[in-house]
Structure 1
Amino acid sequence: MGFIMEGLDAEAYDRTYSDGHLIKRIIGYFKPKLPLMITITILIVFNAGLDTAFPLLVSNSIDTLSSTHAFQTAVIIVGFILCSSVLSWTCNLFRQRFTARSVGDVVLHLRKDAFTAVMSRDMSFFDEFSSGKIVSRVTSDTESFATVVTLTLNLLSQVLLYVLIVVVLFFRNYQLALMTLTIMPAIIGVALGFRVVARRFTRRAQRSLARVNSNVQEIVSGITIAKNFRQEQNMYDEFKQINAQSYYVNLRSGFLYNGIFPVLVFIANIGTTIIVYFGGHSVLGGVISAGEWFLFVQSLSLLWQPLTSIASFWSQFQLGLAASERVFALLDAEPRIQQTGHETVGQIKGEITFKQLLFSYDQRQTVLKDFSLTIKAGETIAFVGHTGAGKSSIGKLISRFYEFQGGKILIDGRDIRTLDLAQYHARLGIVPQSPFLFSGTVADNIRYARPTATDAEVYAIAQQIGNGDWIEALPEGLETLVGETGRSLSMGQRQLVALARVLLQDPAILIMDEATASVDPLTEAQIQEGLDVILKQRTAIVIAHRLSTIKHANRIIVLDGGRIAEEGSHEDLMRRGGHYSDLYNTYFRHQSPDYKPGEGFIPVRDPNMQAPSTR
């Protein structure tokens, strides 16, 4: 049991909705389709009426066999039966066609809403939850949502047919009608009892599918690393276990769903036996005619079908409800980024002020505590420190990807929480250490920052990075295909494309998670030339890993445990011989042009300098 249920827990943002709430929200999506739904309803009523007429016509034809005009009457009735069958088939055809169109439109709308919800989630959401499971909700679950709608419309037709048949039966013989309905409470009771168990099994099946999708996506994304370390077998074994879990979960669901149908058919057959026995005695006793008796026997299948269908297809019904529940949970997930206003951003000078900032990722370990700093407009600031010191967190908070728990961040004196995020992000440029490129050409990826840019503008921007020498190294220049995630290009080429993309955006504030950390010296020189262009007249936040970037900064901020240990220029901090000096000797000294292997560096403390700052 532990193996089967492992990893199938609900996500933190999942919610449990009642069937009534889910159906109400589903109906809300169909409101714009009201005229089409009215047409479908009319066709359902008409189709149910024609299906009801069929056993009545057969019953009347049986009673007229003994009359003097039996042949003529039989021909007329047969004609009516054929006409009703053709009309019923025609109504059903148009009903199915209109249903498919309306359901397709609603699924299209729901999928758009789900995708919009994903795009509006902040970065912490994607850090916490698997991207594969999120994709499963947008694709598989929205598709399963259509099942519950189509099934509901089909059942509506059958329920309406059920009501009409019951009315006819009571009109013809209320005693046999009451006998017919004696089994109905048993069928309803079994169906409702099955409903509770079915929802639980269906949720597990959906989660197991999402887990399979997530695992496959992770394997495909990391296939290069897997092959490099020869871990294909381990990855296969992991997938095999997850796939086996999905198999067993669906197997248990199948046993449940397939087991309920024979039970309901058995109960319905008991009702059929009662009608056949007592109805036959009534015919022999002259209480009812043979046609009426046949009407009851013929109506039994129509009478039990809606009830047995609700239960036998309850797996699909619950699948649709569970899918809609998962999609609605995604739509209703509370955003962690809380904006208190949506002020127009306008032009940004780029001054950034942190006031007694408090930040934690998980509410357990504080990353930044009482953090205060002012970055002047146009200033280039390099943040250095050991892993976990809070360097990247500062960049993420300026980007408004995460919510801070206390203090303020001011942009040109305005609280960042009052700004319109879309406008603010348009004035913010980000260059990650490992840039992501979309499938397409190099030009397409540069133009991603400004889709309206012309080819000439894209080429002019690309020429400003490293004097354009890197373009000549591309097989087809800017029209070179980058491949999935940019795999056709080297890491350095991807970084140059990312720099050109940011330059085309022309942001007021630039955040860089060291663009030269994973490239060769030649490419580093080209990137550094590009940085010289990009950093002009912009406020730049640099997460530093390279000495060349640090030395170009106007100010270096040394972080230790989420606090500012020191700040100043490279030369000033080296003369102090404090925390930065230790970091330099550990991480940056070997990058100096005058460094000789085996030669240490001992900073000389200036006696006139004050002790290192510890604020």
Structure 2
Amino acid sequence: LGDVVLALRRDAFRAAMNHDLSFYDKYQSGRIVSRITSDSDEFGRVAVLITDVGSQLLLSLMLFIILLRIEWRLALLVAGLSPVAFLVANLFRDAARRITQQSQRVIAEVNVSIQDAVTGIQVAKNFRREQGIYDEFRQVNEQSYRINTWRGIVLSTVFPTLTFFSSLATGILLYTGGYSVAHSIIGVGSWYLFMTSLDRFWFPMLQLSAFWSQFQAGLSATERIFALMDAAPAVRQVDNRPVERLRGDIRFIDVSFRYSEKEQVLQDFNLHIRPGESVALVGHTGAGKSSIAKLVSRFYEFQAGQILIDGQDIRTFDLKSYRRHLGIVTQTPFLFAGTVADNIRYATPGLSDADVERIARQIAGGDWLETLPDGLHTDVGERGSRLSMGQRQLVVLARMLAQNPAIFILDEATASVDPFTESQIQQTLDLLFRDRTSIVIAHRLSTVRAADRILVLRQGEIIEEGSHEQLMAQGGHYAELYNTYFRHQSLEYINSRPGARHVPSSGA
């Protein structure tokens, strides 16, 4: 049993890791955790039942042969009455399966509630919502209790009900056998021996019938696990050619993409990014900036057109080897449990301590290491909770520098940091942009201006492109965005305010 659950949970976890992001858009993480853990345990119980069914079936067959040898006429009557037990068990089948499905759904809701409460505890405390979160958990937990209590009643009622019907069958046989003895159809000894053996026959038969209902209950868990494992990937590769190296030439040709039928993002979209070029994507929320980055990363499937990387269809690459050449930094940096050094070498586990320190000191001149309590050996905590947002971002940038990707994607990575940390990050970005293709999605002027080319998007279309100076001279949509969002972020503006602390530029 342990080996079965171990193998199933391992395969389910591997399947979850291999699914694309559209799968995670459909299912909450707590529900996925529930399928990998709770449903795997339920499947283990089904495996035990299958083993028991085999032994009970063999025992029933042997006892029926004995009954035939004792008195074949009564044995045929037993054979005619036995299906009644399976008919009764079948009545419980749908109820057992339905209540088990409800139980598994509510267990998943409990997991979601706990996970949300733990990960969002800081926000909850900020808004004094501890009691509210507890009340929500108590409600779903009590619902789980009620459903599981009813499930226990349904499953525990099966065997007593079957026992009642077996007693009726025994009464019928007792009467029939007694009548046969009275009329000298069978002997008293045969009748007595038959009735004594009948009790031994009923027990495995009742067990088999009860197993049927329990087996149906376990099947719902099995279906949920295999639905996770067998879900068809939305991202489909037509080939799996390994990618040894990339120049970073990216071309979108008449690409159409939508997250759902009602959410069209790109329509006949065309774009060419040359090798080594840094391109900044700007525009209002929903313009399609992050979608372009996700398509290059092959996190989602596009519905029409072509995306070519170095002239090759992106759908022909082996995704694991392709993504080794991608470096992605998001707005909310994710750090794994461990030290700063562990996180820097995450993509390149073979890096020596000396290499890790050398790379870390290239980030912002190495000054940020002095702010860490134990330097590179500082424990980052869960999801980097012991570091500031700026420190986390610098660790992630160091991780990218260690990876040395051919294509670098920066998705609003400076949106949540102060101008002083931004200047440190910008120094690193200048280093990362060098000699590699870069796609920058930014709400910070300094990051946008560092790009070779700026693309202005609106509703999935490129409406303007050029350098910062060219676009400002046009006085179009970019100039409007600059005056609305970017202008107050410039170092000249920040340093010109009364009493402002001087912030050095990234080139200083």
- TM class by shorter-chain length? over 0.9
Pairing partner for 1:374 from 272, 279, 282: 272
1:299 matched to 2:186: no
**Separation (CA, whole Å) in 1 of partners of 2:105 and 2:333:** 32
- Work out whether residues 350 and 412 of structure 1, in 8 Å CA contact, stay in contact via their aligned partners in 2: yes
Partner of 2:74: 176
**Separation (CA, whole Å) in 1 of partners of 2:193 and 2:386:** 73
Pairing partner for 1:509 from 401, 407, 415: 407
Partner of 1:50: none
1:530 matched to 2:440: no
Give the Å deviation of 1:199.
1.9
Partner of 2:321: 423
Partner of 2:308: 410
Pairing partner for 1:288 from 171, 182, 187: 187
**Structure 1 range deviating more: 412-421 or 277-286:** 277-286
Residues 140-179 of structure 1 correspond to what in structure 2 (within 5 A)?
A: 140-179=38-77
- Work out whether residues 90 and 212 of structure 2, in 8 Å CA contact, stay in contact via their aligned partners in 1: no
**Separation (CA, whole Å) in 2 of partners of 1:592 and 1:502:** 26
Query: For the structure 1 residues 504 and 585, does the alpha-carbon distance in structure 2 shift closer, same or farther, using more than 3 Å as the test?
Result: same
**Separation (CA, whole Å) in 2 of partners of 1:597 and 1:347:** 44
Query: For the structure 1 residues 366 and 180, does the alpha-carbon distance in structure 2 shift closer, same or farther, using more than 3 Å as the test?
Result: closer
- Work out whether residues 194 and 311 of structure 1, in 8 Å CA contact, stay in contact via their aligned partners in 2: no
Query: For the structure 1 residues 365 and 278, does the alpha-carbon distance in structure 2 shift closer, same or farther, using more than 3 Å as the test?
Result: closer
- Work out whether residues 202 and 315 of structure 1, in 8 Å CA contact, stay in contact via their aligned partners in 2: no
Which amino acid in 1 is paired with 2:101? R
Which amino acid in 1 is paired with 2:226? F
Give the Å deviation of 1:167.
0.5
1:260 matched to 2:165: no
Give the Å deviation of 1:236.
2.1
Residues 141-540 of structure 1 correspond to what in structure 2 (within 5 A)?
A: 141-279=39-177, 287-288=186-187, 290=189, 292-540=190-438
- Work out whether residues 351 and 411 of structure 1, in 8 Å CA contact, stay in contact via their aligned partners in 2: yes
User: Alpha-carbon deviations, 1:167-209, whole Å to 9, x = none?
Assistant: 0111111133234344312212111232233222222222221
**Separation (CA, whole Å) in 2 of partners of 1:334 and 1:521:** 45
Between the two proteins, the alignment pairs up a number of residues equal to: 496
- Work out whether residues 147 and 316 of structure 1, in 8 Å CA contact, stay in contact via their aligned partners in 2: no
**Separation (CA, whole Å) in 2 of partners of 1:199 and 1:526:** 59
Give the Å deviation of 1:129.
1.1
Larger relative contact order (Cα-Cα within 8 Å, sequence gap ≥ 6): 2
User: Alpha-carbon deviations, 1:421-446, whole Å to 9, x = none?
Assistant: 11110000000111111111111111
Q: Name the SS for the 2:408 alignment partner.
A: strand
- Work out whether residues 93 and 217 of structure 2, in 8 Å CA contact, stay in contact via their aligned partners in 1: no
For the pair shown, the structure with the greater C-alpha radius of gyration is: 1
* Structure-1-length-normalised TM-score: 0.77
**Structure 1 range deviating more: 168-177 or 237-246:** 237-246
Give the Å deviation of 1:284.
7.9
Partner of 2:445: 547
User: Alpha-carbon deviations, 1:396-444, whole Å to 9, x = none?
Assistant: 1110101111111111111111111111100000001111111111111
Partner of 2:501: none
User: Alpha-carbon deviations, 1:262-317, whole Å to 9, x = none?
Assistant: 22111111122334455567678884354x44533332332222232234344532
**Structure 1 range deviating more: 276-285 or 456-465:** 276-285
User: Alpha-carbon deviations, 1:536-592, whole Å to 9, x = none?
Assistant: 111110101111101111111111111111111111111111100000011001012
Pairing partner for 2:455 from 547, 551, 557: 557
**Separation (CA, whole Å) in 2 of partners of 1:459 and 1:295:** 86
User: Alpha-carbon deviations, 1:36-55, whole Å to 9, x = none?
Assistant: xxxxxxxxxxxxxxxxxxxx
**Separation (CA, whole Å) in 1 of partners of 2:109 and 2:151:** 17
- Work out whether residues 348 and 508 of structure 1, in 8 Å CA contact, stay in contact via their aligned partners in 2: yes
Which amino acid in 2 is paired with 1:173? E
Give the Å deviation of 1:115.
1.3
Computed over aligned residues only, the root mean square deviation of the Cα atoms, in angstroms, reads 2.1
**Structure 1 range deviating more: 362-371 or 485-494:** 362-371
User: Tell me, which stretches of 5 or more residues in structure 2 are unaligned?
Assistant: 498-508
- Work out whether residues 161 and 302 of structure 1, in 8 Å CA contact, stay in contact via their aligned partners in 2: no
